[in-house]
Amino acid sequence: MNARCPAVLIAAPASGQGKTTVTAALARLHARAGLRVRAFKCGPDFLDPMWLELATGQPVHNMDLWMTGEADVRARLHAAAQDADLIIVEGVMGLFDGEPSAADLARRFGLPVLAVIDASAMAGTFGALAFGLQHYRTGLPWAGVLANRVASERHAQMLQAALPASDADAPSAWLGAVMRDPAFTLPERHLGLTMASELPDALARLDAAADALLGTPLGQMDRAALARWAVEFEPPPEGSPVAPLLAGKTVAVARDAAFCFIYAANLDTLRALGAQVVFFSPLANEPVPMCDAVWLPGGYPELHAETLAVAHTSRDSLVAHVGAGRPVWAECGGMMVLFDAIVDQQGQSHAVWGLLPGVVRTQPRLAALGPQKLCLASGELRGHTFHYSRCETALEPALHAASARGGAVGLGEALYQRGALRASYFHAWMASSPAAAAALFLPEALS
């Protein structure tokens, strides 16, 4: 049976326009008013969902027509629509960037698009940009446009006047202007936004942004007004049950500020495979719990290298785990800490855990970005890569991931293997192939 719920996809002409702030502010505004709000993030992002989860108080999942797949997106939207009063999806990069893009997602599921435009350095061009976003692709559902980082009321009037008139001779879907205000700026660093959990005033920032929306037509929309964004969500097709390939197994997951890039869907997949999931903190120098396999997810080991260098209890228990032939899956930041040393951007070397030979060097420039897939005998794992470091090692890769786009674009990320320890910069979306995900946590050969 179809499920009906107001929904909106918040996008922008480019990154850095303030769409995460607006998305979180809109979610916070309605959540604190008592509405049940479910938020999602378009694309393979770990940081924005943390802010959206703080705003809504609900788990936030990712959506991507390639990485997570259309059936997964359909299932999550349909499930959310049965319980929520409002669904908000935050776009990725610019509205039409990427293959598939946020616009493709909006068209596929009928999600009205709200465009957030940083208008701080424009006036009349605002109208042309809004018009282009709305009409560049036919069949794009449209909610309206919000001007962000506006200098004054007069500036806001100029922006509104720049919009083309609709058939009703009213400004076309003007949803208001948000003034510049450092009180709700969300700070950034090399991988994106600073984590919400690191800022003691994170919720206050979201409340300030929500308060700023109150003075706009967008912020003044009540339940009746939101109903004009109602979307019918079809149920997903019947899926195959997940085989309990990890039944009776315990998987220990590192989870703290250094190892925090964890898709909630990955934990769900491990549990669906039959695994018991337990957690430990290397930053707190906790030992690896009694377990059958370990997952070291990505995060910020380079920001905590001094602490990790002396986390001898965590290191020694992991060495014993590997020595006993038990599996480890380490991805991106989780892999970095396994090498002999991490060299930070200031050139300082930190001796880390030494389970893999070599050095990881961080750098100010992006080293790799994009969707990739890891093809194993048990299935194709989809995911992505995004990192600012490079590893220098004599190890020969056991496997390579491949670009999502295929063709002659070079090899994807290397996967290194020592016994049952597997490590790569590749971030896996485990739900894309539960059988292949299970293989990462079993001692048998991957290929």
298 vs 365 pLDDT, higher one: 298
CB proximity list for 69: less than 8 A, separation 6 or greater: 382, 432
Residue positions annotated with a catalytic role: 332
pLDDT given for residue 191 in this prediction: 52
Question: What's the whole-number mean pLDDT along residues 335-352?
Answer: 92
CB proximity list for 114: less than 8 A, separation 6 or greater: 8, 9, 10, 11, 143, 144, 145, 146, 175, 218
8-state DSSP, 64: -
Question: What's the whole-number mean pLDDT along residues 376-383?
Answer: 94
Each residue's pLDDT tens digit, 228-246:
999 999 998 887 789 999 9
Measured CA to CA, the distance from residue 345 to residue 366 in angstroms comes to 12
pLDDT given for residue 168 in this prediction: 42
Q: Which residues of 165-186 are buried (b: 16+ CB within 10 A; e: fewer)?
A: eeeeeebbbbbbbbeeeeebeb
pLDDT given for residue 169 in this prediction: 41
pTM of whole model > 0.85? yes
Contact status, residue 55 vs residue 372, Cβ threshold 8 Å: no
Each residue's pLDDT tens digit, 38-78:
999 999 988 889 989 999 999 999 999 999 999 999 999 99
Q: Where are the beta strands (DSSP E) in 166-284?
A: 174-179, 188-189, 192-193, 230-233, 250-254, 276-280
- Indicate the pairing of strand 293-296 with strand 328-331: parallel
Instruction: Judge: domain 250-439, CATH 3.40.50.880.
Output: yes
Question: What's the whole-number mean pLDDT along residues 90-97?
Answer: 95
Phi, psi of 189 (to 5 degrees): -150, -160
Domain boundaries, the chain: 3-233, 250-439
Question: What's the whole-number mean pLDDT along residues 389-410?
Answer: 81
Compute the mean pLDDT over every residue in the chain, rounded to the nearest whole number: 91
CB proximity list for 41: less than 8 A, separation 6 or greater: 48, 49, 52, 60, 61, 62, 63, 89, 90, 92
Architecture of domain 3-233: 3-Layer(aba) Sandwich (3.40)
Measured CA to CA, the distance from residue 211 to residue 259 in angstroms comes to 33
Helices (H) and strands (E) in the chain, counts: 13, 25
191 vs 33 pLDDT, higher one: 33
220 pLDDT higher than 90:
yes
Measured CA to CA, the distance from residue 282 to residue 330 in angstroms comes to 14
Domains 3-233 and 250-439 share a fold: yes
